Amino acid sequence: MQINPAVNQAINKQIGMEFGAYLQYLTISTHFDVEGLSELAAFFKAQAEDERDHAERFINHVVAFNGKLEIPTIDAPASNVKTVEEAAQLSLDWEMKVTEEINGLLKLAGEQGDHITENFLSWFLDEQLEELSTMNKLLKVAKRAGANELAVDEFMARHRGQQSNNTNADG
């Protein structure tokens, strides 16, 4: 069985978006690392790794479907992010765009009768809801903290600690 050519092309475009997000989050992570905001750096580094994982999931889907992988040109990431609020807003905007694209992919797969890809994309919809929620929360915290970026870094440390405790409680 081979993937529908229109779906294949749209997934290739999505792979480029995921790699673009990877580069953007890596750039933001590096900025915060240089600024000594290690929790923010770690957070955005983890986001970068998630985006790379997403790209690989799409690549594996194309390969499993005997499709043709054509990764598009990836624009250079914005490197002028100077504040946590700018980083959070840029990230939220990016995640909203990715969500739109995945919704479009889902619609296209349905129109083409590609139910395997529709099912595959359901995981990404759940992931996008989580991403949007996370970035929205970070933006709210950054706005409240204003110029006190250390407060946001400390919030991230506490938040990570809470997640670790919840994970340990579940296990």
pLDDT given at position 133: 95
Distance, CA of 25 to CA of 31 (rounded, Å): 10
**168, pLDDT greater than 80:** no
**164, pLDDT greater than 90:** no
pLDDT, tens digit, for every residue of 68-103? 999 999 999 988 998 999 999 999 999 999 999 999
Distance, CA of 39 to CA of 108 (rounded, Å): 39
* H helix and E strand count, the chain: 5, 0
Domains recognised in the chain with CATH numbers: 5-158 (1.20.1260.10)
pLDDT given at position 162: 59
pLDDT given at position 79: 87
Percent of the chain with pLDDT over 70: 94
Span 17-34, average pLDDT:
96
pLDDT given at position 131: 94
* CA angle (58 as vertex; 53, 59 as ends), nearest 5: 95
| Average predicted confidence (pLDDT) for the chain | 92
pLDDT, tens digit, for every residue of 32-66? 999 999 999 999 999 999 999 999 999 999 999 99
| Residue in this structure with the two tokens 């690989």, named with its chain if needed | 56
Q: Which pTM does this prediction carry?
A: 0.89
pLDDT given at position 49: 97
Return the number of other C-beta atoms located less than 10 Å from residue 168's C-beta: 8
pLDDT given at position 169: 52
CA dihedral 41, 47, 51, 53 (to 10 degrees): 100
* CB-neighbour burial class of residue 77 (10 A; exposed 0-12, middle 13-18, buried 19+): middle
**170, pLDDT greater than 70:** no
pLDDT given at position 167: 47
**166, pLDDT greater than 90:** no
